[in-house]
Amino acid sequence: MLYLNFSSQDFCTLPKFSEFVKHVLLGRNNQIEVTSVEVAFRGKGRQAFVKTILNYAFSHNVQQLNITCLCVKKIEFPLSRVSFQSLKHLTVTGYDYNSITTTPDWEMPALTTPYIHCLTLYNGNNTDKGTNLFSNCASLKNLTIKKCYMAGGLNGFNICHPGLTSLTLEVGFTRVNVDTPQLKNLTIKKWKGVHLISAPNLSSLHYKDLSYIGHEDGDYDDLSQLSTDLLHLEKANICIKCIFEEKAAAHRIVCLLQQLQSVKFLTLNLEVVELLSSYVELISHHPSPFANLKSLKIYPVDVTRLKVTVPKEVQNYLLDSSADATLTMASREAIRAVMNVTSARNLMRELQMLLDQWKEYCETNTAPVKQDKAPMKSRFHERMTYWENLNELFQKGYENTRDITSMLRKIEGLLKKVPRFHRAKLQSRFSGLRAEAETIMDDMMDRVKIQCDKRPRRSNVLFDELATLQPSS
């Protein structure tokens, strides 16, 4: 099996890269099967080498194709013009939203795993409410779409596929209708306006929106909508952070939670629970919807907020229908403590590296300088070299002393915040590092002092040299 990897970054000009691609593809042994082709390029997508690579992949039944655009400018990529009968895995990555443009009608019947990132899908003057993506990809199983934009009259798109089992949508604003009867895993992160029409076999849902704005009118609401019963839902991870904590947002979240009634393992962010705590009247007269719940985990996204007590009504709403469910709640205080411990350890690791580098520098740059036995041509040069070496030592010593002192202060501040059962062990290591730092800094000052004492001896060389320049009488 053969794997081909081309990148225009390895060439100073695109014509040279194009010539190289042509030379490799025409000169290789076609008896050896090629299974994967990868290309990373800058410039226009219609250039000859792009067409050459696509045609080669098509004619040699390549199963995996990875395409990466390295430039900012907008290019049109002719994926829809090639019918890949054997391609199973496709990755297309643009530089930003507008770097790659292509039409959505791909003829790839064997494609199982497409991954598209930073792509613009354009469909001419199509004014339909939605275009069905990947309708010509009969074998589709695992689809990932990140940071993709719809243009050319496409107000939204549909993902309607009978065999799709896993779908990931990340960072998007185009409305998406999902109708996938075999879908088992759905991930939606920072993608507004997803409408799940049908996914009766869904077993895992991961939903994240950190900038939600609730609306009374559901037609304008960008929270994902579920128009199907999720009777086989095993796991759900819901993370929603509202820009404005209003009653409309709380109401929409309650509706979403009601649709997760079959879930067994539920994870919520603490901010959602706190929002419900502000509007307990929305849930106080409703029974808990989670009859099959086995585990509920609650964690904070924003660890800087103050501690809030969760009302009994909210706890009852989440747990009353599942007497055997376990509750795991991570407080902001606990999260901050873990973060402080981790930060202290990382800083001490960085400090140790800095101390080791400084010791190495001292050993190689402040060793006694051997005196040159050859006579100096000029005392001026000797003095200049002396000051240059001394200035380097002073500058390096100042910078490292400043950095080490700053890190010691940061670590000392963090140690005051960590839990007591972590503090003793960390304090012991910190004391050792501080002692080592003080020894190294004292040694550095001693070396600088020694170097200062090696100043060139005084002489009347200046006047002697000037005297030689005076014209004889």
Place of tokens 């901050």: 336
pLDDT of residue 323: 87
Q: What CATH architecture is 1-149?
A: Alpha-Beta Horseshoe (3.80)
| Annotated domain spans of the chain | 1-149, 335-461
For residues 22 and 52, the answer to whether their CB atoms sit within 8 Å is yes
pLDDT of residue 244: 74
Q: What is the pTM of this model?
A: 0.76
**Positive or negative: CA dihedral 219, 228, 132, 42:** positive
Q: C-alpha angle with apex 364: 440 to 430, nearest 5 degrees?
A: 25
Strand pairing category for 156-160 and 185-191: unpaired
Whole-angstrom Cα distance, residue 132 to residue 176? 10
Whole-angstrom Cα distance, residue 18 to residue 6? 10
Residues 6+ apart with CB under 8 A from 78: 45, 46, 50, 51, 54, 102
For residues 399 and 336, the answer to whether their CB atoms sit within 8 Å is no
pLDDT of residue 220: 47
Q: Give bridge partners of residue 91 from the DSSP assignment.
A: 66, 115
Taking only the tens of pLDDT, the chain with its 473 residues reads: 588 898 888 888 888 888 888 888 887 777 778 889 998 887 665 567 777 888 888 888 889 999 888 876 667 666 665 678 889 999 999 887 777 777 767 888 999 999 999 888 776 555 555 577 888 899 999 999 998 877 765 667 889 999 999 999 999 888 889 999 999 999 999 998 888 888 999 999 999 998 887 665 554 467 888 877 889 999 999 999 887 768 888 998 999 999 999 999 999 999 999 999 999 999 988 899 999 999 999 999 988 887 778 888 999 999 999 989 999 988 888 888 889 999 999 999 999 999 998 888 777 765 454 444 445 456 667 777 777 777 777 887 788 889 999 999 999 999 998 888 888 889 999 999 999 999 888 887 887 777 777 666 655 555 455 555 555 54
Measured N-to-C along each axis, helices 379-415 and 332-365 cross at an angle, to the nearest 10 degrees, of 160
Residues 6+ apart with CB under 8 A from 453: none
Residue 214 in tokens: 């609730």
Q: C-alpha angle with apex 191: 190 to 192, nearest 5 degrees?
A: 115
pLDDT of residue 79: 67
Residues 6+ apart with CB under 8 A from 43: 8, 14, 71, 75
Whole-angstrom Cα distance, residue 352 to residue 3? 42
